[in-house]
Every structure is written in C-alpha cells, then in structure tokens.
Structure 1
Amino acid sequence: MRVTQSMLTNNMLRNLSSSYQSLGKYMDQLSTGKKINRPSDDPVVAMKGMDYRTQVNQVEQFKRNIGEVHNWMDNSDSALEKVQKGLERLRELAVQGANGTYEEGQRGNIASEVEQIKEHMLELANTKVNNKFIFSGAETTGNAGDPPYELNDDGTFVNPINNDDVRIEVSSGTKIRVNVEPDSIFNEELFTDLTEFAETLRDGTDDEAIGEFIERIDTHIDNNVNARADLGARQNRIDLIENRVEEQLVTAKDMMSKNEDADLEQVIMNLTSQEAVHRAALSGGARIIQPTLLDFLR
C-alpha cells in the first residue's frame, strides 16, 4: 500500500485528537475526584453507583428515623419518671391520711395536694413532642386538635383514648413501637381513683377507707414500673439497631467510594504520562508535515 503525505497527516491529526480526549478525561477525573462524569464513560460503574447511592440514602433515612425514635422514647421515659415521683408522693399522702391522728382540716390539706398531683398527671398525659401527643396512641394530634386527656368532674374521660401502636421503620423490614401503651398508665382508673381519694379525704374520717387507696396506688406504681421496664427494653434494642445501621452506613459509603471515586495518585500519573506522550506526538507531527512553497516564501 502506498503511503501518502495526506495519510500521515490525517493519522497524526486523528491521534492528536484522541490524545486531547485522554487529557480531557484525566483532567475531569482530577477536577471532580470521580472515575466517571457521565454514564457513557462507564455504564457498569454508573449503574452500580446508582445502587450504592440508593443504599446510602436509605440508611441515612434510617438514621434520621432512629433519631426520632430516641426523641420519642426519651421524652416518654422522662414523663414516666415524673409519674413515678407523683405516685410515690400519693402513696405517702395515703399513708399520712390513714393515720388516725390527722384531723379533718389536715386531711383537707392533703386532699388539695392530691388534686394538684392529679392535675399534674393530666399534664403529663398530654405531653407533646414536636407538636405530637406522645401518649395518645396513633392519634397524635389529639381529638380535633384538643388534648386527648380531658376529664369530667367524676374523673372519667371526656373522649375515648386511642391505644394503637406508633411504629417507625429503623432498618430494612424492621419497625419498632415507639410509644407507651396509654391505657397501661394514664387509664381512667387512675384519674377516678385520685378523684375518689381526694373526696374521701375531704368527706370522711374513716381511716380504713383512706388506707384502701394505698393498695390502689401501689397497683398504679406497678403499672408504671412495668411500662418503664418495657420502654427500657425497647431503648436497649434501638441502641443495638443504631450500631448496626452506623456500620451499614460506613460500609455503604465505602463501597460507593470504591466504585466511583478516582485514585488521585493514579490519575496524576496517568495525566503526566499522557502529557508527555502528547508533547512527543506534537513534536513528531511537526517533523512529519513536509514544508510547502509558502514556507520558503516567508
């Protein structure tokens, strides 16, 4: 085959164009820190990158969900701790009220404190976190915007209380209950007992009748302790899940990085090598192109 000057020139220009493309690719990798900058650069890396990015986004959402779980459970435990203190104080008052040495006026003072504690219990039952009632089951906005716990004069509820579970997904396929079952703590029996306790203190001098409330209060104390124990067990579980999610996030980000992040040291070496090749090609091309008559006329 006869090699002509035009063939040499065209091949040289084509190879120079390819060399420029390689320089451009390495410059893009160096500037962005990524192996590819468009799917066409490497469809396999691009597809894997989409999968890894989806996984990272999913795990990050689980981390945010776990944060919401901690917020809900921590506030629930704090409220139940205050309930515990209130119940223990009520028991002390029941023991004092059953003491035959107390006069009617003194028992009336005890009754006033019992009523204040009942109001405090009502406030705890209507605890809101992030504008949600945490002791109202799945009806977290209350009853048409009103607090879920409202009492009649006899201590009964104005509206029925929702006892449905509130569950939040904390890992793939795992949803954990974050709320305390309202009926186990803030039940109608609790507020009815407190109402009757105050009335008994005000109206009677029957030590035995007053003493009966000690056992009733002990029942509510046991319910509260059991609820806190159940909540604590779920808090321990969410801590274990959180550790696993943290490990999954680190692994997912590492896989995504290995898939799409460029090895900058290798990129710099490739760029330097390609630059040397390109300069050599330009130097060789200048010698291949033969002088023309115009070159001699200048």
Structure 2
Amino acid sequence: MRITNKIIQNNSLNNINTNKQLEDTLSTMLSSNKKIARPSDDPIIALRSLRLRTSVNQVTQYVEKNVEDAKSWLTVTEKAIDTLSEIITDVRKQYVKGTSDTLKPEDRTIITDNLEALAAEIYNTGNADFAGRSVFAGYRTDTTITFQKQESINYEITEKFDDVTVDSIKYVNQGADENSTFETDIVRIRLSYDKIDNLESLSLTSRISSGTYTVVTKSSSESPDPYQTVISHDNENYAVFVPETGELLLSKKMADSTDDIADCSVTYNRSKWAKGELRPEHYFNCTATDPVTHEVKEYKSHGGEIQYNIGVNQSLRINTTADECFTHNIVRDLQDVIEAIKDVNDIEERIKTLKDKYDELSETDVTGREALQKEIDAANKAYTFLNNKMHSLFSKSITKADKYLDKNNVALTDCGTRSKRLELIENRLDTQLESLKELKSENEDADLAETAIQMKSAEYSYNASLMATSKILQETLLNYI
C-alpha cells in the first residue's frame, strides 16, 4: 500500500485530536470533579449514579424533614401531657387540703377558687398545636379539642359505655325536721356532659330479670326532685334522667340487677356550648347541625392515629389522641367536689340565718321558738351529712386523681417510647445517609491527584504528537527534486 503525505497528515491529525480529546476529558474531570460529563461517557456510572442520588434524596427527606417534624410533634405532645400532669397534681393537692377536719368557710372558698381556676386550664392544655396543627385532635388537626368561644350547635351524641361499673353517690334529703332529714346512696351513670337538652334513647344490656325498665326525664328544679323520685321507685326497674347534671339515676332494684353493666348506649342532644368545653367529635359518634345553614355533619369517634413515614417501608405514630389523657371525668369529678363544697356553705348559711331568726324571737313566743329549733336541728343534721359527704368526696377524688395521673403517665411513657424509637431510627438514617453519600462520591467523583497526573501525561502526549507531526510533515518530495 502506497503511503502518501495526505495519509500521514490525516493519521497525524487523528492522533492529535485523540490526544486533545483525552486532555479535554481530563480537564473537564479536573474542573467538575466528576468522572463523567454526560451519561454516554459511561452508562454504568450514570445508571448507578441515578439510583444512588434517588436514595440519597429519599433518606435526606426522611432525616431533614420527616424525622425533624416527628421530633417536634412528639416534643410538643410530651410537654402538653407533662403540663396536664402538673395541673392534675395541683388539683390533687387541693383535694388533700379538703380532707382536713378543721376547714373554715374561707378555706373552702380558697379551695373552690383554686379548683375552678385549675378546671379552666386542664382542657386548654389540650389545645397545644405544632405548626398550626392541633396535636391531640387526631386527623382533625384544623380543630382544637375545645370550643374556642360560646357556640350554639346542635349535637346528637351517642355515648357508649363498655363494661361500665355504676357510680354510687350520697344524697342528703333536707327535711323540715330531723325525722325527715336523712341520707341515702343513689346509684347513677354519669354522662360526659351536663346541661343536656333531651334524652333521645337509652339501651342497657344487663341482668334485669324482667327485661324491661322505665326511664323518665325530670328536671332538678321540679318537686319532688329527681333524687326523691328515684328513691320512691326503689322497688321497680326505674331510672330518672337529670338533664341539668347529665346523670341517669337508677332505682335500688335496677341497680342491684345491673352490677357491672355489660353494655350501655345513651343518645342525647345538646346545643349550648361554653368556651373551653370539649368538642364531642373528638370522643363520640355524633352529628352536628349548624343553626344557620342547617348543614348536618357526621363524625366518627376517635379520629385516628397519624403515621409518619420515617424510613423505607417504615412508619411511626406521632400523635396522642385527646381521649388518651384529656377525659371528661377529670373536670366532671372536680365539679362534683365544687358542688359538695357549695352545699356545705349553703347549709352553714342557712343555719346562721335560722339562728339569727331564733335570737330575734321573743322568749314568750314558745311556739315560734320550738318550730325554729326543729328547723335548726334538721339543718344541723343535714350539715353533718353534707360535711361528711364533702370529706368523703375529697378522699375519693384523691384516688381518682391518682388514676388520672396513672393514665397520663401511660400516655407520657408511650410518647417517650416513640421519641426514643425515633432517636434510634434517626441515628440509623444518619449512618445510612453517610454511607450512601460515600458510595455516590466513589461512583461519581474523580480522584483529583490521579486526574491531574493523567492530564499532565495527556498534555505531554499532545505536545509530543505535535512535535512529531511537525517533523514528519517538514519532509516532502520537493526536498529531493
């Protein structure tokens, strides 16, 4: 094959371009610190790089956003539950003070004021939020657990009791004389709300022998009052519903045959709501009817656990629902105590008034004095009953407060356990992220020292090819003619 100058020239140019391309490639690697500039440079590296970058972005999302959000949510929740525990502890301290036998009227007034102030704070704690989302409201994060203002919304609430043990209360009948003044135990089922409009339905599953029972609604202002009414029907399967207090009073016969009620369901309506009261939709199956638009909304109880994705195929529950710690009974028990204190204060005031009237009567008014003395004796007897009831209620309330604290501690421990688990997952994700970044760097990043040496070598090769080509092309056929 005849080698011409043109062939030599083309081959030399091709070699020069090859060396120049290598130098350009190495220069790009050195300036970008990447092994490839485009996928076609090395499809294997490009494909592996795409996979690693996806993994890095995914884990970064978990570490920097999901985990951080979950940590903040759990922190807010823990602080709120801890605050609730402190409030219940303060309530318990007031109960302990109330057990003292040396309480004066002014002492009871102080205890009442303190309990009312604490009652107002209990549920406000449950309105804690994270980034505008209510942390105890389940899926309904746009709604606080309490009403923020006085509202008139008609709720039809179905309250279910499972394995209910009925509650016994002391009733003191204040008669005109000592014989008609007495105390007795009345069994009740207390609903979560008072000031109820009307009772829609009541369903009891129990061991009532006859299988039937009578339920009547009676206002506390009626005469005879609901308590006297249910006492008068002790030999029947009879119940009295008191709308003002939200109590279902059971006759003695009905109470005896309904020990440990297997199931109880009560449906009732309530339309007036004060600021700070718990919203029913966070606790019960209910419907709410807007008084203006008449729009009806249906709610299901226990609005759900919020799960955060904190890893590949791994999630963690971050929320605690209101029913786990902010229960209705906390304040309902507190209201019972305040009412018992009020009853004692009222009877003391009545005794004082009667004694003042007695002192004002003339000593010659024997009949009037005897009548007043009977009333004073009856009032003193009622005072003894009511005072004993109050002290007994204080003692029982201490035990109940301890149970609420235990329930609260369970919720707090559960929240702390999830925080600890989140911490362990975060540590693992940090390690995983570092490993992925290292693999990504090994796959994509160029070795600067090696690349610099290769580039210098390519530069020498390029210069050598230029020198060789220039010498070869200097000699032509004309030099020999």
TM-score (norm 1): 0.92
- Structure 1 residue 294, shift from structure 2 partner: 11
Superposition pairs of residues 1-298 of structure 1, within 5 angstroms:
1-63=1-63, 64-142=65-143, 147-150=144-147, 152=273, 157-161=278-282, 162-204=302-344, 205=387, 206-290=390-474
Please identify, of 232-241 and 256-265, the stretch whose mean Cα deviation from structure 2 is larger.
Answer: 232-241
2: CA distance, partners of 1:207 / 1:153: 30
2: CA distance, partners of 1:76 / 1:202: 36
1: CA distance, partners of 2:450 / 2:342: 87
| 2:36–2:42 Cα contact (<8 Å) kept | yes
After superposition, the Cα gap between the structure-2 partners of 1:108 and 1:163, relative to the gap in structure 1 and judged at 3 Å, is: farther
| 1:110–1:201 Cα contact (<8 Å) kept | no
* Residues 176-230 of structure 1: CA deviation (Å, up to 9, x unaligned): 1111132110122223223333333333342112322112211111111111111
* Residues 226-282 of structure 1: CA deviation (Å, up to 9, x unaligned): 111111111111111111111110110011001000011110011000000000000
- Structure 1 residue 100, shift from structure 2 partner: 2.2
2: CA distance, partners of 1:116 / 1:294: 115
Q: Please list every run of 5 or more consecutive structure 1 residues that lacks an aligned counterpart in the other structure.
A: none
Tell me the secondary structure at the aligned position of residue 136 of structure 1: coil
2: CA distance, partners of 1:231 / 1:183: 14
- Structure 1 residue 20, shift from structure 2 partner: 1.2
Tell me the secondary structure at the aligned position of residue 250 of structure 1: helix
Tell me the secondary structure at the aligned position of residue 289 of structure 1: helix
Tell me the secondary structure at the aligned position of residue 139 of structure 2: coil
Tell me the secondary structure at the aligned position of residue 180 of structure 1: coil
After superposition, the Cα gap between the structure-2 partners of 1:222 and 1:26, relative to the gap in structure 1 and judged at 3 Å, is: same
Instruction: Report the AA paired with residue 222 of structure 1.
Output: D
After superposition, the Cα gap between the structure-2 partners of 1:104 and 1:158, relative to the gap in structure 1 and judged at 3 Å, is: farther
After superposition, the Cα gap between the structure-2 partners of 1:260 and 1:29, relative to the gap in structure 1 and judged at 3 Å, is: same
Number of equivalenced pairs: 291
- Larger helix share, 1 or 2: 1
2: CA distance, partners of 1:80 / 1:34: 52
Larger radius of gyration: 2
TM-score (norm 2): 0.58
- Structure 1 residue 19, shift from structure 2 partner: 1.3
Instruction: Report the AA paired with residue 165 of structure 1.
Output: E
| 2:145–2:278 Cα contact (<8 Å) kept | no
Q: Please list every run of 5 or more consecutive structure 2 residues that lacks an aligned counterpart in the other structure.
A: 149-272, 283-301, 345-386
- Structure 1 residue 290, shift from structure 2 partner: 3.3
| 1:155–1:192 Cα contact (<8 Å) kept | no
After superposition, the Cα gap between the structure-2 partners of 1:191 and 1:155, relative to the gap in structure 1 and judged at 3 Å, is: farther
Instruction: Report the AA paired with residue 236 of structure 1.
Output: K
2: CA distance, partners of 1:163 / 1:87: 25
Percent identity of equivalent pairs:
29
* Residues 32-57 of structure 1: CA deviation (Å, up to 9, x unaligned): 00001111111110010000000001
| 1:125–1:135 Cα contact (<8 Å) kept | yes
- Structure 1 residue 150, shift from structure 2 partner: 2.7
1: CA distance, partners of 2:87 / 2:341: 18
| 1:163–1:182 Cα contact (<8 Å) kept | no
- Structure 1 residue 104, shift from structure 2 partner: 2.8
* Residues 64-115 of structure 1: CA deviation (Å, up to 9, x unaligned): 2111111111111111111111111111100111222112332122111112
Larger RCO (CA under 8 A, 6+ residues apart)? 1
| 1:22–1:274 Cα contact (<8 Å) kept | yes
- Structure 1 residue 154, shift from structure 2 partner: 11
